Chain A
Amino acid sequence: MKFAVTITFLLLGMGFFNVEGLQSQENSEEIISSPYIKAIYSMPVSYDPIKMNDGASLIFSELVYEGLLRFTEDYGIQPAIANSWSTSSDGLVLTFKINPKARFHNGEAVTAFDVKESLSRNVSSESLVYKFYDVIKGAKDYFTGKSDSVTGLKVVDDLTIEIQLEKPFPPILYVLAGGTAKVLPAKLVNDMGFFKKPIGSGPFKVQTINDNQIHLAKFSKYHGVEPRIARMVLELLNQEEAMSRAAIGLIHDLSSWPMSGAENVFKTGKDISSIVADTWIIGLNTRVKPFDNLATRRLFQESIDTEKFKNRFFPDAKSAFGYIPPSFPGHETSKLSHEITMTKVPADLVTIYIPEELSRSHEMADFFEDELIEKGWNIRVVTLNWEEMMKAYNEKSLQAFMVSMIVDYPDPEFLLNNFESTNPDNFSGIKDRKIDELILDSRHTQDRIKRQKLQLALAKRVDELSLTVNLFHSRAHYWIHECVEGFKPNLLAVAYTDYRNISLNQDCLKEKGLWNQLQSMK
């Protein structure tokens, strides 16, 4: 489970597009069309798929890169680079046929060798997402440097790749459809500076990347559904600025922010409402006192009125009684009753970190301080900018932090392995034998019902250990400009939204008097 936070960066001197490089557009349509402008709350933390751990990176990945598979909008999978695939009867071998039309943005054909090299990177020591791929045969040896190649990745011919697994693991298809399983050109990926202007085989190719903008153009030789947007700009904006510019038609897409629908910007444009598989939490780090103690965590959990918080800041959201979001096994629909054994609030200073760029972050800080000081906690709430917070998060130094946990893949396995003691992404630092055993059992169980039962037990155990204060599960309201057509959010994560089917109605822009304005931004 990764996190994405509704954050913003305050940038000065913004407001004009830097579209150098757009002069070399490939066709006239690109020149005469106004760009589709999508605001993003942060620049991608990494442009390398194997290091992607945040929403903005995943958005970029889905637009520019292509994997063997893609997610459909409602949890299914569909062909991407692979135009067909099969699984052996024992579930250990997956064979993918590569679409011969698939091309990288530099015009070179995508081959099975490129797939092998890219997936090998996913299980390399550099990878931050190794845990999703460790079921591939030979992955561990490659990861630890015992082997020079991943034995489970076999190039059958230029257009056929075989993936062998250590054990049957059906959700591997979801992993291969995810944002980190992207295929990069093997010949170029290890070059210095490759990720300054990366080359993928996705529907959009990179034109330029600067500090606050990413300019993309339709890849005319894309093998799949031809994108309908000719030019796209991902622009870093804080939420307030993004909303005010959206209101006057200069931003077309605010879907990076799952909003409540009550914001002023919704007076114009389209409100696309959808469930989101997320849980907003205050993560508790068991490595740092006083949260190393279960009784303290439970008392802390009990001290925050989460309903009050939800109603004040996200009234349209659903109450969160457990860690698991709606739609997944272990989701709780009523308040859990844990035994509170601690009666005295510990004297230790507790610091909660909130992303500074979050809309109303200071109000939220005041809320937590008021709630907890009143109940005797020695509390401090700090708003921190996203970059610093990410750094501290990775260093596991944050004592308590507010984030939104989103689901990577439509399988409960990936929701709960964040709490596995060996997972480098284990933000809570919990080391619980029962959790580890259940995750292991779940991974080795093929029977669906038995597997789900293990996962229910796992979710129950995570909630019992009170590793998070569960604030709410959001129901997103995505704001889209009224000239945008075909926007369908992905139920799994908005980062997986399929922009190939979205278009920007140029006639509509002309009617609204925006076309010339957007054109003049060149």
Chain B
Amino acid sequence: MEPASVHEVISFKDFVSNRMSSYQMGIPLVTAIFISLLTAVIILKQFANSNQTFVESIAPHVAALLETQDRPEIQRFIRAVSTKQGAEIEVVYRDEIIASTLGLNRIGERIENDIESLSFLDLKLNNGRLLSLANAERGKGWNESKAQIGIYLNTDSIFYVSVGVSIGAFILSFLVINWIIKKVVRESQKSLEHLGLLEKAIRQFQRSFETSEIPSFPISELESIRKAFLDTQNKLLESNDKIAKSKAKEMASYAYKNLIHDLHVPVTALRNHLKIMGLERATQKDRENALKRIVDLAEQVLKQVKSARSHLGLEISLKNDDLVESVRRATENAHMASFDKPKVEIRTTFPEFQILKAHDPILLGRALSNLVTNAVEAALSCVQVELLPYERGVSIKVSDDGKGMDQEEVSLHLQGRGRSTKTERMGIGLASANHIVRSHGGKIIYQNSPLGGACFEVRLEGDLV
């Protein structure tokens, strides 16, 4: 299962603000650009018209000056009027600039031949500068040809005005859009009050869904959520029933298998103790011990049968008992049950003090008995049972000097899906032991044994006393 992605939890106001931030800048920017372009076009049109009118109005006077060939006066005249109009002016005669306020060095030069006509506002383009041209008609002067007066559009002014207007438009629209966003957030927050009521009703419903109910809401989206919740609740209940039935079946089957397996050890031990009772060479003490163990074993068998009957394979009842004693007893039971392997020596290493830890002595003992029995089965000559407390818990290692097991095979056995090459019991025993250990919050780790075979380590974590 993939881990759930982690989101920063923020308030609704922040959420909306974050979502609106692009609009906060974007809308004013687009508005400013649009308005500045519009302004530029309007100003351009006004300037162009004004220039055209202006240049047409001065054309007769320039024509009169041309008539007299008084170019210094033309220069003085256009200098004076260009200052008034705020635009540069040139007078062109036979393609030669004869007066200019654009640059005195242009006087006497040929006007650039690359004047391009534009399709709007009667403007021309001369070297990147917008130009209005008007003819200064000369009547019956010494020469019938005509001059042209060019007035350059003051694009700098247009640019500065447009920039100024766009900045103003940006600020204004920024303020307006922010005011609108605040208003929207405030109204949205009000609508969230209904959401709070829905949440409260759902929580109430969860606590006692038999006696409480979720009221309906006037907002369709909330009403949909309410219905969806109720539908989900109903479906969950139905699913729970189905899962419970299925689980019960599975657990019954499992408990039965466990019971068959788990009864093998105590019943075998019981039979051996009964044999001791019948042996002539048995001493009185042996018979008394055997009788005591027979009683214990009978109780164990009874408990296991009861447990299986309740369809719960494992009903752990934790006691703060001495874990060392439980392990020792489990080892002895296994030893007793493995009478058919008399050559296998079981070595134990237990601490000389009590370890009080909450556990179920019978079930955990059964799990350990299984591990030891398996080890005896697999061993050639020696099984080692070792109990060691460590920093955060206790480790119980059952090792043998057999041929060991494959890691994958062990995993299958631990999950209850494996098959032993020798007996059915072994596999069943591992799965049962694993289940019991896990029920105690512990785990079984498989590793290679220092004795050369397998080593099953039971790790029970938690504070020790």
Contact = CB atoms under 8 A, between A and B. Distances in A.
B75 interface: yes
A442 to B, nearest CB: 12
A328 B71 contact: yes
Interface string A479-498: 00000000011011000000
A307 B211 CA distance: 120
A498 to B, nearest CB: 12
B76 interface: yes
Nearest to A488: B104
Contacts of A329: 68-70
A326 interface: yes
Contacts of A74: 72, 75-76, 79, 104
B211 to A, nearest CB: 93
B67 A491 contact: no
A452 B79 contact: no
Interface string A307-326: 00000000000100000001
A514 interface: no
B108 A326 contact: yes
Contacts of A76: 76, 79
B105 interface: yes
Contact of A273 (B71, B105, B142): B105
Scoring B64, B69, B73, B94 by chain A CB atoms within 10 A of each residue's CB, the highest score goes to B69
Contacts of B33: none
Given A76-B79, A327-B98, A456-B142, A274 B69 contact: no
Interface string B89-105: 00000100010000011
A75 B75 contact: yes
Contacts of B108: 274-275, 318, 326, 475
B107 interface: yes
A330 interface: yes
A491 B142 contact: no
Given A74-B75, A327-B98, A452 B104 contact: no
Nearest to B71: A327
Interface residues on B, range: 10 to 19
Contacts of B69: 328-331, 452, 456
Contacts of A72: 79
Nearest to B143: A333
A491 B70 contact: no
A75 B73 CA distance: 8
A410 B76 CA distance: 10
Nearest to A478: B105
Contact of A75 (B64, B68, B72, B142): B72
Contact of B72 (A273, A327, A333): A327
Contacts of A412: 70
A453 B68 CA distance: 7
A464 interface: no
A452 B69 CA distance: 8
B81 to A, nearest CB: 13
A272 interface: yes
Scoring B70, B98, B105 by chain A CB atoms within 10 A of each residue's CB, the highest score goes to B70
Given A328-B69, A328-B71, A412-B70, A449 B64 contact: yes
Nearest to A490: B104
A410 B94 CA distance: 23
A327 B96 CA distance: 12
Contacts of A410: 72
Contacts of B94: 333
Interface in A470-522: 475, 488-489, 491-492
Interface in A259-309: 272-275
A461 to B, nearest CB: 15
A412 B73 CA distance: 11
Interface in A426-456: 448-449, 452-453, 456
A329 B107 CA distance: 17
A491 B104 contact: yes
B72 A449 contact: no
Given A273-B105, A488-B104, A452 B72 contact: no
Contacts of A456: 69, 142
A466 B81 CA distance: 40
Interface in B191-221: none
Contacts of A330: 69
Interface in B39-79: 64, 67-73, 75-76, 79
A411 B104 CA distance: 19
Contacts of A333: 94
A75 B76 contact: yes
A382 to B, nearest CB: 33
26 contacts: A74-B72, A74-B76, A74-B104, A75-B72, A75-B75, A76-B76, A273-B105, A274-B105, A275-B108, A318-B108, A326-B71, A326-B108, A327-B71, A328-B71, A328-B72, A329-B70, A410-B72, A411-B72, A448-B68, A448-B70, A449-B68, A452-B67, A452-B69, A453-B68, A475-B108, A491-B104
Given A75-B72, A328-B70, 18 more contacts: A74-B72, A74-B76, A75-B75, A272-B105, A273-B105, A274-B107, A275-B107, A318-B108, A326-B108, A327-B98, A329-B69, A449-B67, A449-B68, A452-B70, A475-B108, A491-B75, A491-B107, A492-B72
Interface of A: 72-76, 272-275, 318, 326-331, 333, 410-412, 448-449, 452-453, 456, 475, 488-489, 491-492
